[in-house]
Amino acid sequence: MSLVPELHDIGKLLDTRATNIKHNLENCPIQHHTSTWRGIIEHHCSPIHEKDPFEKYPTSSDTFRLHIADGLAAATSRYKVRGETGSSYHVHKLWNPRIGITFPLLKTQEDVKRLVSYVAGDPSAQDYFIKYGYLLRNRAEDATSGRNITSLYTHSKLTGQFFKILVLDETSFPLREDLGSLSREEVAELTTRKENEWKMSVMRCKIGFALEPVRARDLNVFKAQESFINEVKAVFPHNILFHTSDELLLISSNAQQLLNNLKAKIEQLGFSLEIIRGEAQIAGLKPDPEDMVGNKKETIYPVLPREIEPPICELCQLNKANPEPWIDEDSGISEYICSKCWKIREMGSILRKLVEWETLETNPKICWVKLWLDYEKLVCSLTELYVEYLKGVGVTDPRKQAEIRFSTISEFQWDYDGFLADFWKTIESQIGQDNVQRILLDFSGIKVESLNEIKTVLKIYNELFTRFFPKLKRAVCPIKLSVVCSNIKFPFLENWRLLRDSKSDVNVHIVGKGKMDLSIQDISNILDIEVKSKASLHRLIELNKKSTRLSKIVLYDRMDKDYKRNTEIREAVERFGFQNVLTYAEILSD
Amino acid sequence: MSLIEYRLKSEALCLGERIKKGTFRPTITTIPYSQITGALKSVVGKNDIHATGCITNSPKKEYLTFSPKDNITNVSKIPITVELLTDVEGRVYIVKNQAYNLPSSIELVMGALRTRGLGNCTINKVGEIDLSTREARIRNTGNGLLNTRIPIEHLDKFNVRSIRPRYGYLFKPTSLTSGIYVLSLFENSEVNAPRVLLK
């Protein structure tokens, strides 16, 4: 059996003090000789002057690569966050720290025996994550206070990914040294040398498409985008470190080969890819290529000719349209579209509920709800939260030491995915599953009876955001919520433009009625507004439809008959702005 | 070289894209090279004129629904909804040509539905952006996101260099009745360009 890198830190599930067994199991009374066991005992190479060093160190190429992969997947650089700050075995998630949690480590001899015999049975990584998943998710990868910011689960997965990249590309990561003949000091030296010699590329790829959906079937383009990401995940399972519905963070030893592969895929679909990539020695890799010196920016498009003879595709306006138009059976309307857009339309009615709603005579209102995650802002806010945490545990010079690495980003992915899953599930349970058409992991269409249901969406968002990311409420918020509500007949491409153009943390746009742009801090406060005087509110809304300026004048006119009754509204306007309050009033009064 | 800067005002504009679904004509929110250059050519009567522009305020979007008639049969077609921008303010940049002087105020008609009263614009000269010397170029250009649409073949005329492009196609008339679409840089392309053309 070959070495299973994900198991290298299984010894961290044992209580070292109670069992007196080191986490690399080198002093475990029972020893085995499988490759995975070798990986566990040899995955560390203690620096020369370390106080209580591990005796074992890498003696073969695979355990050496595992040692390097372990370092790459660590929450903090081995050289940073120094100082005796105590132990905290629980994971301190920067965005959602849980205080007062004690972690149940394995303590008894029975526990040790069970764990050792489990490793001896050469389990797969998948089996390991199922069996010890709960413990792995709660145990910090590094138990030192200030370094306990990622779970053993994320660290183990990431180590596996890095290890496979290092093993599968011998050309980029040559290792000719005979490790069996080297001393611990020599291996430590070799580690530093290889970390400064071996190079990898970090790439952020944002997927774009030019197709402007006008029919429900054109929304299949989102499904095509999802399939594209799933396909990339299947072809490069070890290279993806983070992803959203339209962005990928990839790591590779051969960026060009990976890009060529992506290019071939986007060519078929007519997508484009905005890429930022940075190459560095593995010791200097950063989770945001934008922060890497000498990074390159490019956009990959399918082949685009210099000139196109009419007709041009009406949907994407990037390709020549097919000579035969696409004819709508019901209306007889013909559209000149290209073969790529045609293919998307011909994928059939994947989004069945939308197609059904489109044919309803009642012309229902649809709320398009999209969440956006800004990767650059995420790295920034996590860095700020890390500085705050390090300050709290008494680390000197926290700003210099706070460095966000791949593992923290991957850890965030778990919670972000969980947040999205809970968000849609709660919406479905409160608004009705039949009324929710899921389009992407972060995008859905919701059929609403009245605008009041937007309040339900905002409430759910606020509650879940507070539960999953309480600390992000006080930082630069990387997550954005956009809600656009319109009649089903309103062109989707306009809804999509409004969703994309959102600037604030929480954006609500009711087509033809108004919009709200709120910060994440404001959302809970605005949801608490209660306006007793409904009649005067209606009057203001009606005036606002005719003239915003006039309704403002009336609101502040001391001679107006409703001046006293409008006190609550004036207070709300002071806090959230006139436009926001009036739009919110529209929501409440529908 | 230099760019002559004009302030643009229009009550209603539809800077059309292709009609969608046969029933909806959206508008873009910038002034592309093709639209403003075409409009200027027909007013000034010069062929070697190159201009582009951008919208500087946040105009309101309104919708106009009407039923066009077939010119031959006089039968109404399916109603079409046109998206239009009202109370538009913008800037137009014309590449200075030493061979002729342009008037300081020009009335022109631009965009779609001109027969229905849309697209009337007034442009008034406000200044000149000097790009003739190295120092002037350093002073007046920078990196950022493009705020207009310019064909690739005319980028050099505006001193625009593409860094990370966002491509699209603009219509280029080749005769009174025909034309082709040419590859162009669209808004939000990352470029090095005169600052006035950046977002």
Tell me how close the Cα of B169 comes to any Cα of chain A, in angstroms: 7
Structure confidence by residue, pLDDT tens digits, A208-221: 999 988 888 899 99
Interface residue A210 vs chain B (CB under 8 A): yes
Cβ distance A312 to B83 less than 8 Å, yes or no, reads: no
| Cα–Cα dist A356/A492, whole Å | 15
Query: What ranges do the domains of chain A cover?
Result: 5-196, 199-350, 365-528
Q: What is the pLDDT of residue A552?
A: 81
Measured CA distances, B189 to A16, A299, A305, B167 (Å): 56, 10, 18, 8
Tell me how close the Cα of B108 comes to any Cα of chain A, in angstroms: 27
Q: What is the pLDDT of residue B112?
A: 86
ipTM, interface predicted TM-score of the complex: 0.89
**A170: left (phi > 0), else alpha (psi -120 to 50), else beta?**
alpha
Q: What are phi and psi of A434, to 5 degrees?
A: -65, -20
Cβ distance B169 to A317 less than 8 Å, yes or no, reads: yes
- Residue of A307, A312, A335 lying closest to B22 (CB–CB): A335
Q: What is the pLDDT of residue A77?
A: 58
| Cα–Cα dist B14/B17, whole Å | 9
- Judge contact between A437 and A354, C-beta under 8 A: yes
pLDDT at A475 over 90: no
- Based on DSSP, count helices (H) and strands (E) in chain A, helices before strands: 22, 14
- Which of the four pLDDT bands, split at 50, 70 and 90, describes residue A352? confident
Residues of B in contact with A299 (CB under 8 A): 164-166
Cβ distance B19 to A314 less than 8 Å, yes or no, reads: yes
| Cα–Cα dist B44/B175, whole Å | 18
Q: A406-431 and A152-168 helices cross at what angle (nearest 10)?
A: 120
CA angle, residues A467, A576, A509, in degrees to nearest 5? 80
Query: What ranges do the domains of chain B cover?
Result: 2-70+79-197
pLDDT at B17 over 90: no
- Residue of A272, A304, A333 lying closest to B23 (CB–CB): A333
Residue A560: burial class (beta carbons within 10 Å; 0-12, 13-18, 19+):
middle
Gap between the terminal Cα atoms of chain B: 22
Structure confidence by residue, pLDDT tens digits, A560-590: 887 887 777 777 777 788 788 888 887 877 7
Interface residue A14 vs chain B (CB under 8 A): no
| Cα–Cα dist A416/A464, whole Å | 11
Mean pLDDT of B29-57: 93
Cβ distance B181 to A333 less than 8 Å, yes or no, reads: no
Residue of A nearest to B25 (CA): A491
**Residue at B70: amino acid letter:** D
pLDDT at B105 over 70: yes
- CATH number of B2-70+79-197: 1.20.140, 2.160.20, 1.20.120, 3.30.70? 3.30.70
Q: Which of A295, A304, A545 to mutate to test the interface with B (most CBs of B within 10 A)?
A: A304
pLDDT at B69 over 80: no
Q: What is the CATH number of domain A199-350?
A: 3.30.70
Cβ distance A307 to B163 less than 8 Å, yes or no, reads: no
Structure confidence by residue, pLDDT tens digits, A104-113: 788 899 999 9
Number of Cβ pairs closer than 8 Å across A and B? 68
- Residue of A272, A312, A331 lying closest to B169 (CB–CB): A312
pLDDT at A311 over 80: yes
Residues of B in contact with A310 (CB under 8 A): 178-181
- Residue of A297, A304, A494 lying closest to B190 (CB–CB): A297
Cβ distance A308 to B169 less than 8 Å, yes or no, reads: yes
Tokens of B53: 């522009």
Strands B51-55 and B80-95: antiparallel
Between positions 292 and 321 of A, the ones with CB within 8 A of B are: 297-299, 301, 304-310, 312, 314-315, 317-318
Average pLDDT, chain A: 89
Q: Which of A98, A192, A103 is nearest to A469 (CA)?
A: A98
| Cα–Cα dist A453/A84, whole Å | 52
Beta pairing partners, A106? A14
Q: Poorest-confidence range of A42-56, A396-410, B29-43, B124-138? A: A42-56
Q: What is the CATH number of domain A365-528?
A: 3.30.70
**Residue at B90: amino acid letter:** G
- Residue of B18, B166, B190 lying closest to A314 (CB–CB): B18
> How many angstroms from the chain centroid is the CA of residue A343?
29
Query: pTM (2 decimals)?
Result: 0.87
User: By a Cβ cutoff of 8 Å, what residues of chain B touch chain A?
Assistant: 17-24, 26, 78, 83, 152, 163-169, 178-183, 190
Cβ distance B182 to A494 less than 8 Å, yes or no, reads: no
- Judge contact between A369 and A438, C-beta under 8 A: no
Strands A443-448 and B105-109: unpaired
Cβ distance B167 to A333 less than 8 Å, yes or no, reads: no
Structure confidence by residue, pLDDT tens digits, A38-92: 999 999 998 777 777 888 999 999 999 999 999 999 876 544 555 545 677 889 9
- Which of the four pLDDT bands, split at 50, 70 and 90, describes residue A267? confident
Mean pLDDT of B149-160: 96
Q: Which of A203, A206, A297, A312 to mutate to test the interface with B (most CBs of B within 10 A)?
A: A312
Tokens of A83: 């100082």
Mean pLDDT of A431-455: 93
Structure confidence by residue, pLDDT tens digits, A80-91: 555 545 677 889
Structure confidence by residue, pLDDT tens digits, A126-158: 999 999 998 999 899 988 888 899 999 999 999
Cβ distance B183 to A306 less than 8 Å, yes or no, reads: yes
Q: How many residues does chain B have?
A: 199
- Residue of A299, A305, A335 lying closest to B21 (CB–CB): A335
Q: Which of A207, A271, A297, A307 to mutate to test the interface with B (most CBs of B within 10 A)?
A: A307
CA angle, residues A536, A541, A545, in degrees to nearest 5? 145
Q: What is the pLDDT of residue A79?
A: 44
Helix or strand holding residue A229 (H, E)? helix A220-235
- Residue of A299, A331, A333 lying closest to B166 (CB–CB): A299
DSSP code of residue A139:
B
Q: Which of A412, A527, A328, A376 is nearest to A151 (CA)?
A: A412
The DSSP code sequence of B138-174 is: HHHEEEEEB-S-EEGGGGGGGT-EEEE--EEEEEEES
Q: What is the pLDDT of residue B77?
A: 74
Q: What is the 3-state secondary structure (H, E, C) of A290-333?
A: HHCCCCEEEEECCCCCCEECCCECCCCCCCECCCCCEECCCCCC
